[in-house]
Every structure is written in C-alpha cells, then in structure tokens.
Amino acid sequence: MTWTIAGSLTVVPAPTRTDLLAEPVAKALAALADPDAVGVTEIDPSLADTAAFCEAYGSPLEASANCVVVAGKRAGEVRFAAALVLATTRADVNGVIKRRLDVRKASFAPMDEAVALTGMEYGGITPVGLPAEWPVLIDKRVADAPELVIGSGIRGSKLLISGTALAALPGAEVIEDLAR
C-alpha cells in the first residue's frame, strides 16, 4: 500500500514488524480482517508527540489522530473510554464524552493509570488493542479520513491506518462532533 501521508518515513505492513508494537496492539492487529492494510514505521521516540513528529517527518498534521483515555465516575464506579480525534481538534470531554459515559464529570485519566490499564506507553496510546470493555469513541472526521497516523502503543513507532479500519475496531462508536 502507498501511504501519501508518510512524508519521509518508510512504512511496512504492521504484521511484519511486531517489534514496533506494544503487545496488546500486536494481538489486536492480528485479529483484524486485513492486518496487512495497517502500516507501521519506526520513529525517534523523542519525536512521538504529534507536532514534533509532523514537523520532523513531513507528515501533515491534519492526517494525525490522537487517542486520549477519559475516566468518569458514577455511583462509585469508574468508567473508562478512549476518544480518537484529529490532531487539529480537541475532544469534547465535558460535553459529548461525559454524556456518553453517563458520568457527572469526565476528565483525562491519570497518566500512570492509563499506561497501566492499556499496557501501552504514554504518548503512544492507540485505540487498537485497548481493554475490550472500553468504548472507543471516534470522531466522524477521523472515521471519514482515508489515511491517518496514530500511535502504535510505544513511542518509537507510528501506525498508518484508514478511518474505515478504525471505525471497524471492536467497541468503536463513530460520533458526530466528538471534537471541537
């Protein structure tokens, strides 16, 4: 597959480089209908943050999507979700996501907790391979994108994937205006 958003990066089918994936990501990719349609590329871990990544590798910012882990409480129960939004937008945590989780207040999960629960590195958390009971909330603009760069579960690589493939992930819900 030819990735037009790869900039200066060399992309290979993700199943051929599982060493560039967090363990839960590798397992989840293997379960996809077409795992070879997902690309992976090695990057400098110090450039994992979206803006630095895009600048260093010439990948367009509007083709990057960020995954955030959100938590909220209801009747003493903590509810988690992942939200995937374009890097040029911000997740509507205290509007759309709070209502979807049916909690009084929603906020970004603490870094240590997000890392422990996902088995992924901070700055590399991705919707691929998250805990099965979590809803994966995907902004419609992400689902409509033909090509995206997202995290791989580690800071030393990125996945390239279509919005259609993301919308087909287990637990995925495409939501209009999830982000502002």
Predicted TM-score of the model (pTM): 0.95
Condensed to tens digits (0 to 9), the pLDDT of residues 102-117 reads 999 999 999 999 999 9
Supply the pLDDT for residue 145.
Answer: 98
Domain ranges of the chain: 13-175
What's the whole-number mean pLDDT along residues 73-83?
A: 94
Condensed to tens digits (0 to 9), the pLDDT of residues 36-65 reads 999 999 999 999 999 999 999 999 999 999
Structure tokens at 78: 């903590």
Taking the CA atoms of residue 139, residue 141, residue 143 and residue 144 in that order, the dihedral angle to the nearest 10 degrees is 160
8 A C-beta contact, residue 139 and residue 92: no
Topology of the domain covering 13-175: YbaK protein (3.90.960)
Q: Which amino acid is at 70?
A: V
Strands of 136-139's sheet in order across: 106-108, 65-74, 77-86, 136-139, 172-175
